[in-house]
Amino acid sequence: MRTLAIAGVGLIGGSLGLALRKRGFPGTILGISSPKTIETAIARGAIDRGVTLQEAAAEADVILLAQPISVILQTIDELIPIARPDCLITDAGSTKRLLCERGGALPCFLGGHPMAGKETAGIGAADADLFSGRPWIFCSDDVRLTLTPHGSDLLGWLRVCGAFPGYMDPGAHDQTVAWTSHLPQLLSTSLARSIGTQVLHRELVTVSGSGLRDMTRLAMSSWSVWRDILDTNTDFIDHALKVYIDTLTKMRENLQTQRTGEDFSIASEVAHRIRRGLQND
């Protein structure tokens, strides 16, 4: 991987550029973004220069699509007629089934999902250590793509940047993140939304504890990111919401009974297991 092109030099794309430079990546890093973002990204040292998608398709060994999901889908379509068979194209979208399906039309596409983020978006928030200690999941119908020279180079550099590259089936990925990421997001948004309908006593909201702060942190996330996620994982999210609403409705009916006590005890066990990372043990 002598030349990497990053399409969408925002939080994820910009952070990867900074991370590679910080760890001594000797190759060229190209950026595809708006003129203003390119200017900032060059000034921050995240990329060497701005190029068009056509130029990137001609020059790059690896192209990372780090745009919003709906833009990645458009970029894949634009790349289909111009992608070289020896250029590995990968992405950083948070859902994987549709992207892997559409990417299948490219000669060499490997879906990816860096499990890292921040509340703030854009090149200004980019951080050379964003991926440190965080998994970077790859999804493809052909996992051997991670073993090609460019594939194994890319994964090697991600490891150097502190990430833990791993592999999952696209469907298994989307089903699991519906529970571990998309459902929590919607619960937090609904909590802040519901509280917003109430006239609460200012003193006590002022003094509310860390529980409310934790539970409404995700609610600060941007709709521009979430619109595409809800659009491309609707079936799994809808199912998770159904199970959740049923659970909460039963808890409401049983507020004062021992059944809710059992729910608390199972939930506490699950929460501890999530922290140990041993869900299915």
Touching a copy of itself, residues 200-239 (CB under 8 A): 200-209, 211-223, 226-227, 230-231, 234, 237-238
Task: Identify the CA nearest to 167 among candidates 198, 190, 136.
Answer: 136
Query: What is the sign, positive or negative, of the torsion defined by CA atoms of 22, 29, 89, 224?
Result: positive
Query: Which phi and psi (to 5°) does residue 240 adopt?
Result: -60, -40
Q: Which of residues 54-93 bind a copy of itself (CB under 8 A)?
A: none
Least distance from a copy of itself to the Cβ atom of residue 10, Å: 18
CB-nearer residue toward a copy of itself: 25 or 179: 179
Given the rule CB under 8 A, which of 21-29, 72-80, 101-109, 251-259 is the region that contacts a copy of itself? 251-259
Closer to a copy of itself by Cβ: residue 26 or 256: 256
Min dist. Cβ of residue 236 to a copy of itself (A): 11
Find where tokens 């200017």 sit: 39
Q: Hey, which residues between 151 and 190 contact a copy of itself (CB under 8 A)?
A: 164, 166, 168, 172-173, 175-177, 179-181, 183-190
* Cα–Cα distance measured from residue 176 to residue 181, given in angstroms and rounded to the nearest whole number: 8
- Per-residue three-class SS string for 45-77: CCCCEECCHHHHHHHCCEEEECCCHHHHHHHHH
Per CB under 8 A, contacts with a copy of itself among 105-144 are 115-117, 134-135, 137
Q: What are the Cα distances from residue 59, in Å, to 13, 52, 259?
A: 18, 11, 63
Contact flag: residue 43 with a copy of itself (CB under 8 A): no
| Tokens 């996992």, residue located | 143
The minimum distance between CB 90 and a copy of itself, in angstroms, equals 18
